[in-house]
Amino acid sequence: MLLLHIGLETDLSVLKGMGRTAAMVSSFGMVIPFGCGLALGLLLPAQYLAAPQARMIFALFMAVALAISAVPVIAKILIDLGLLHRDLGMLILAAGIVDDTTGWLLLSLVAGLAQRGSVNAAGFAILLGSAAAFVAFCYFAGYRLTASLLRWVDDRTFVEHGKLSAMIVIALACAIITQAIGIHAVFGAFIAGLMLNNGTVRVRKPERAELEAVTLGFLAPIFFAYSGMKADLGTLRDPMIPLLVLAIACGAKIIGCGIGGLLGKLKWREALAVAIGMNARGGMEILVALIGLSLGVLNAEMYTVIILVAVVTSVITPPLLKWAIREVGERPSDAERAERGKLLSHLELNPEGSKLLVLTGGGPHAELATHIAAALAGDRDASITIFRASTPDNPTNKANWDAEFARLKEIALFCGATRVYQRTANADTIEEAIATETDRGYDAILAGASHFRHHDGLGGDVLRALVSSTKAPVIIARSGVDTATPFKRLLAPTTGAAFSRLGATVAMQYAQAFESKVTALYVREATGFALPGIALGRQVTDGGEEFVDEIRRLGEELKVDIETRVGAGRKPESVILNAAHTGDFDLLVMGVLFRSSEQRLYFGPRVRHILRGAKCAVAVVVPPQPSSLRT
């Protein structure tokens, strides 16, 4: 379970762009400690060997133990020191991932040899070939099977914690396979985590949190406590041996990574910082030690020595890295990456592998909601569930519902969606049926406006209950005078607030799907003021360029054609309406805030004015409400 969690949190994408430097650091950071560990294992007195007749296996095990790094510990240290998104931090993490992955493969091979009891060229070649075949299968086909299974569980089953169970089954299956071919089971679990971390696999934050809670909150403490109980400081008769192993472990790792960094064209201070960062062993070394003890490769004394190495290297790395990085200034690319990361963090809807829900009551508004959902679900791994709620007083006519679903599915498929599912549910009230369905972890919920317009011209109690209680963004679509799709000109008003940026994001993702053009509009408010009988004119607030510029830069990241405008007027809602009518826009996309204090579907007087006056199609994007405000 620990290796499954580590694999799931290992982001291989950081390897992209690291190039020659990362390759040099990881190569020398593995080869030199491996060689020193091998020599140490061959030269240690026989009293430190659990099986003196199998010295070569012991030496290989010591080589792996000294060569491995701990990516989770490294990542946590980089986060604490604010280095994770700097060039050096990403370099340390990338080299650590290579070390970790290579180390687990080597450890699994050595463990397999230990189980066989001897080292020979034929046995090693068979193990290496089996490992290569397993990794190749997982890389080319396994992750697709994993993605399909997770999507099927997510879309078609209704078992509580079903995805967590599926993840554990995948990890156990991989562990069984690696164990069967003579490689340690932990390698299979690690590869399973890497497959689950692929972008096409639908593993979201809640499932990650569940796995983390079970693993780090319950199983890991038991594992580390058990590992600690196995360590016996009383067995260390000669203090020179622990100091020697610690010195060789730290020295070999720092020298190896430092040489690799210098050959990779780093400055000496940068190379030293990278080398120190790579020296943390943490829980990985403890797991290596426990595996060695369980296989009979390590005796109690050497097990305790390796545990001490893991603890000491993890404790000394943060202060040493902080000292080493003190004189290393930020590179221009660090500031650029930080700005880009901040910008992309505003994209709250990720179309890759998204799971969307369309609520339908029939009519053109539901068709428009389905059309927009298809635009947001253009990724081949995304899915759309079209849902109808029924009650004892208003049961669903199956024939009519099937015909309606067929029509909406045709719209979705025509717009590029590939996975469209049909769902219905019964409850005492429509609101209750919808609430039960929305709890199944959708990324966004789309609904057509009510046929009977209330208040803001969108809907009444059903949509109000949805907006006030759901944990996902809600997009309410209302068709206009001309509903010809796809829309080619979109207007996205923005205020600079997060909710309006969410609306602009939806507009850009729609435009990305249909190569449309988006106009981002910010309106400076002009306030009139006067004394009795004396008109003093108007005052126009400054600013706004930075808000539309942010939308423009987001559009550039998404490769969307963005036009930016800054207008001014005493009533911003009138300026927006005028722009919508004179600019020949076909879709108005607005991010809005739900006014939860009102016992109706209400977004404020300005939004109400726009909705009442807009002639084009409208999509209102409502962010999820804070939990304290849900009713």
Do residues 110 and 102 make contact, with C-beta atoms less than 8 angstroms apart? no
Fold of the domain spanning 2-343: Na+/H+ antiporter like fold (1.20.1530)
pLDDT confidence band for 117 (50 / 70 / 90): low
- Look over the chain and give the mean of its residue pLDDT values, rounded to a whole number: 83
Higher pLDDT pick, 121 / 354: 354
- Count of C-beta atoms within a 10 Å radius of residue 42: 14
User: What distance in Å separates the CA atoms of residue 549 and residue 89, rounded to the nearest whole number?
Assistant: 29
Q: What is the DSSP string of 221-238?
A: HHHHHHHHHH--GGG---
pLDDT confidence band for 352 (50 / 70 / 90): low
pLDDT tens-digit map of 512-558: 889 999 999 998 877 654 444 443 444 445 567 888 888 888 888 77
Q: What is the pLDDT of residue 581?
A: 87
Is it the case that residue 228 has pLDDT exceeding 60? yes
564 membership: H or E segment, kind and range = strand 561-569
Fold of the domain spanning 355-626: Rossmann fold (3.40.50)
pLDDT tens-digit map of 432-453: 888 888 888 888 999 988 755 4
Residues in the chain: 631
Q: What is the pLDDT of residue 538?
A: 44
Q: What is the pLDDT of residue 154?
A: 81
60: closest CA among 128, 112, 135? 112
Q: Provide the b/e sequence for 575-606 (b: ≥16 CB within 10 Å).
A: bbbebbeeeebbbbbbbbebebeeeebbbeeb
Is it the case that residue 208 has pLDDT exceeding 80? yes
Q: What is the pLDDT of residue 105?
A: 80
Do residues 172 and 193 make contact, with C-beta atoms less than 8 angstroms apart? no
The residue behind tokens 């919808």 is 434
Is it the case that residue 199 has pLDDT exceeding 70? no
HEC-encoded secondary structure of 303-363: HHHHHHHHHHHHHHHHHHHHHHHCCCCCCHHHHHHHHHHHHHCCCCCCCCCCEEEEECCCC
60: closest CA among 122, 123, 8, 108? 108
User: What distance in Å separates the CA atoms of residue 100 and residue 94, rounded to the nearest whole number?
Assistant: 10
Q: What is the pLDDT of residue 119?
A: 62
In this prediction, what percent of the chain has a pLDDT beyond 90? 21
Peptide bond between residue 624 and the one before it cis (omega within 30 degrees of 0) = no
CA dihedral 279, 220, 105, 46 (to 10 degrees): 70
pLDDT tens-digit map of 5-44: 888 877 776 667 666 788 899 899 999 999 999 999 999 8
- Count of C-beta atoms within a 10 Å radius of residue 47: 12
Q: What is the pLDDT of residue 36?
A: 94
Side chain identity at residue 142, one-letter code: G
Is it the case that residue 255 has pLDDT exceeding 90? yes
Is it the case that residue 475 has pLDDT exceeding 90? yes
Q: What is the pLDDT of residue 386?
A: 93
User: What distance in Å separates the CA atoms of residue 360 and residue 476, rounded to the nearest whole number?
Assistant: 11
User: What distance in Å separates the CA atoms of residue 240 and residue 211, rounded to the nearest whole number?
Assistant: 41
Is it the case that residue 50 has pLDDT exceeding 60? yes
Mean pLDDT of 573-586: 89
Q: What is the DSSP string of 379-410?
A: STT-EEEEEEEEBTTB---HHHHHHHHHHHHH
Do residues 105 and 187 make contact, with C-beta atoms less than 8 angstroms apart? yes
Domain ranges of the chain: 2-343, 355-626
